[in-house]
Amino acid sequence: MATPVPVAPRRRRRSRARRSTPLTIAMLAALAYFLLPLFWLLIASTKSTQDLFNSFGLWFSHAPQLLANVKETFTQDDGVFVHWLLNTVMYAVVSSVGAALLAAAAGYGFAKFRFRGDRLGFNLVLGAVMVPTTALAIPTYLLFAEAGLVNTPWAIILPSLVNPFGLYLMRVYAQDAIPDSILEAARIDGAGEARIFFTIALRLLAPGLVTVLLFTLVATWNNYFLPLIMLNDPDLYPITVGLSSWAAQAQNGGAGSSSDMLALVVTGSLISILPLVVAFLLLQRYWQSGLAAGGVKQ
Amino acid sequence: MAVTTAPSAKGRRRAAGPLFVAPFMVLFVLLFLAPLGYAAYLSLFQERLIGGTAFVGLDNYVKAVQDPLLIHGVGRVALFFVIQVPVMLLLALLFALALDSGLLRLARVIRLGIFVPYAVPSVVAALMWGYLYGPDFGPFAQLSRKLDLPVPGFLSESWMLGSLANIVTWEFVGYNMIILYAALRTIPQELYEAAAMDGAGAWRIAWSVKLPALKPALLLTLLFSVIGSFQLFNEPNLLMKVAPDVISSSYTANLYAYTLAFTGQQVNYAATVSFLLGLVIVIASYAILLTANRRRTP
């Protein structure tokens, strides 16, 4: 039936538009800056710790050993890196799916229903967009410590479930993408509100939902401050905290077992960014239209 | 209204709105408002060596606004904000306009390439740049030595803030660019045709049609940047390990709050600092919103 209003309609380019070579070259130069550290990471993960210091940083050494590095990354400390990877996936997936669903339901509720206190509730959340998460993190830690939640996965997942900007985005999106006439028609056909939400609204909200999901996924995947303060059991660490603990070991000196740590930090870093980069490439058209909704409306 | 629904259905519908909103709002109260309130509460107490915890009213706040460590931390972050944010947003704007101009070859590759750093955890970004900055083994130092040039002191006292700004810029230009680009894509083609009809050139169109249309999106990116820069933590916390003499444990306000809570065990004072920091960010954000709104309605 009706399709949601496209948020970012693709304009047809004038066919006579000429391409500009100077502009393209300037932008390629900018691109080089953005890709340089990633290029370095790719090269560096093929090197031993020794070669990281002895060979030129932006080119391969004489003895590339990517596979050996990967194997060592996964087996160091009885495979703790695998734990970190799985923890990160678990925290990120549970948080982002939960946050997206909560934001979708609430955004839909605020967009399509009038009830007592709706304006106040929404404005409260809108104001909360400005409260920085790290300013909240320390009091949250103290509260969680009293509740016995510190050093459990809940300490990471629960705070990530509330995404005020996600709610704002879903409300804007619901307003545009769900025509009231469809809701009325479904009600006349006798569908309950819950059924209307799950079978009709959620489907129309899908692109916005994917946007919130993807951005919460990135935020949780990349989260460092919250797990840093909430967790002290290495088996519960996400990749970010794990890598920084390895980096600290690597920097503490070349003595003994820590001398090979740097290669592991580098290879682990490369492995940690691959899933997100792939997710973004695959889901491009969703996050772009979703972001457009947030950036255009007031 | 042409359609009348049965009274019972209407009653259910009235209840539906709050029910959709409830799960989010309950978690919002528990995980957002409660920690804020708890921080406010804790900030009114002090732990004494003798006699345990005592109510001290606003003493902690009086202490905080006179605390040179906090003042320097906030000052550093403010300086960072004033320099880094304009550079980042200007670059994002230029890139978005270039992408939207239709003059670029390889536009898709360039767009994705500039956006990719956003998917990189700040921990990994700081580790990579920390290595690239290195005065002994970093590739820039290696190149300078080969060319007999002085080795750039990226990690020295005078360069550090700039080096941090570079990392943050690298991470977030692409994200801001995508928000602005998505907003540009929603400008209707007719506006360009009308402007061209009136004799406007490409520059004139960018200035008089595109920029005004970008205002809401620019405001959004500016707000996120305020929130982001004032809670700067991850990058300095990681670079601290490679440059411990330059980055102290109170280098940024957020780092200071963390140090107070987790190494100084000064829970109440840490809550005060967190609360104050949140307040500074909210005030700065509102100031920006108010200025923007005043400009919009002359």
What are the tens digits of pLDDT across the range A162-207?
A: 999 899 989 988 998 899 999 999 999 988 899 999 999 999 998 8
Query: Would you state the pLDDT for residue A98?
Result: 97
- Higher pLDDT among residues B43 and A292, named by residue: B43
Distance (Å, whole) CA B123 – CA A241 = 8
The pLDDT score that the predictor gives to residue B246 is: 92
Q: Identify the DSSP state of B207.
A: I
A103 pLDDT exceeds 90? yes
Chain A residues with beta carbon closer than 8 angstroms to that of B142: 56-57
- Higher pLDDT pick, A282 / A185: A185
Nearest to A103 among B24, B129, B258 (CB): B24
User: Quick one: tokens of B129?
Assistant: 């740049």
Measure A78 CA to nearest chain B CA, in Å. Answer: 23
How far apart (Å, rounded) are the C-alpha atoms in residues A8 and A20? 25
- Residues counted in chain B: 298
CA distance B232 to chain A (A): 9
Size of interface A-B (CB pairs under 8 A): 311
State how far the Cα of A262 lies from the Cα of B14, in Å rounded to an integer.
60
pLDDT at A151: 96
Supply the ipTM of this predicted assembly. Answer: 0.88
* Residues composing chain A: 298
What would the mean pLDDT of A90-98 be, rounded to a whole number? 96
Q: What percent of chain A has pLDDT over 70?
A: 88
Q: What does A124-139 look like in DSSP terms, one character per residue? A: HHHHHTTS-HHHHHHH
- At residue A62, φ and ψ (nearest 5 deg) are -70, -25
At B133, the amino acid letter reads Y
> Which chain A residue is nearest to residue B37, measuring alpha carbons?
A139
Q: Which residue of A lies nearest to B14 if distances are taken between CA atoms?
A: A115
Residues in chain B with CB shorter than 8 Å from the CB of A266 are 127, 131
What are the pLDDT digits (tens) for B110-158?
999 999 999 999 999 999 999 999 888 888 998 898 898 888 889 998 8
pLDDT over 90 percentage in chain A: 53
Chain mean pLDDT for chain A: 86
Please tell me which residue, A126 or A81, carries the higher pLDDT value.
A81
CA distance B224 to A165: 10
Task: Write b or e for each residue in A263-272: b if 16 or more Cβ atoms lie within 10 A of its Cβ, otherwise e.
Answer: bbbbbbbbbb
Residue-wise pLDDT for B203-223, tens only, equals 888 888 888 889 888 998 999
DSSP E strands, chain B: 45-48, 52-55
Of B47, B93, B123, B242, which to mutate for an interface test with A (greatest number of A Cβ within 10 Å)?
B123
pLDDT of residue A4: 39
| Nearest partner of B16 among A51, A183, A212, A19, judged by Cα | A183
- Which pLDDT value is given to residue B292? 82
Residue from B124, B179, B254 to probe the interface with A (highest A Cβ count within 10 Å): B124
Label the pairing between strands B45-48 and B52-55.
Answer: antiparallel
Q: What pLDDT is recorded for position A61? A: 83
Work out the angle at residue A275's Cα, subtended by the Cα atoms of residues A272 and A280, and round it to the nearest 5 degrees: 125
CB neighbourhood size of B213 (10 A) = 16
Q: Are B204 and B263 in contact (CB under 8 A)?
A: no
Q: What confidence score (pLDDT) does residue B9 get?
A: 56
State residue B171's pLDDT score: 96
CA distance A171 to chain B (A): 11
How many whole angstroms separate alpha carbon B90 and alpha carbon B92?
5
| Confidence band, pLDDT 50/70/90 cuts, at residue A290 | low
Over chain B (298 residues), the average pLDDT of each successive run of 10 is: 50 80 95 92 86 85 94 93 96 94 89 93 94 88 89 90 96 93 86 86 84 89 89 92 90 92 89 90 88 67
Q: Which member of A115, A139, A225 has the closest CB to residue B36?
A: A139
Reading the block at residue B51, the tokens are: 């006699």
Confidence of residue A9 (pLDDT cuts 50, 70, 90): very low
pLDDT attached to residue A207: 83
Give residue A73's identity as a one-letter amino acid code: T
Q: Convert the pLDDT of each residue in A11-63 to its tens digit.
A: 444 444 578 889 999 999 999 999 999 999 999 999 888 888 888 888 888 87
Q: How far away is chain A from the Cα of B73, in angstroms, using its nearest Cα?
A: 14
pLDDT at res. B8:
56
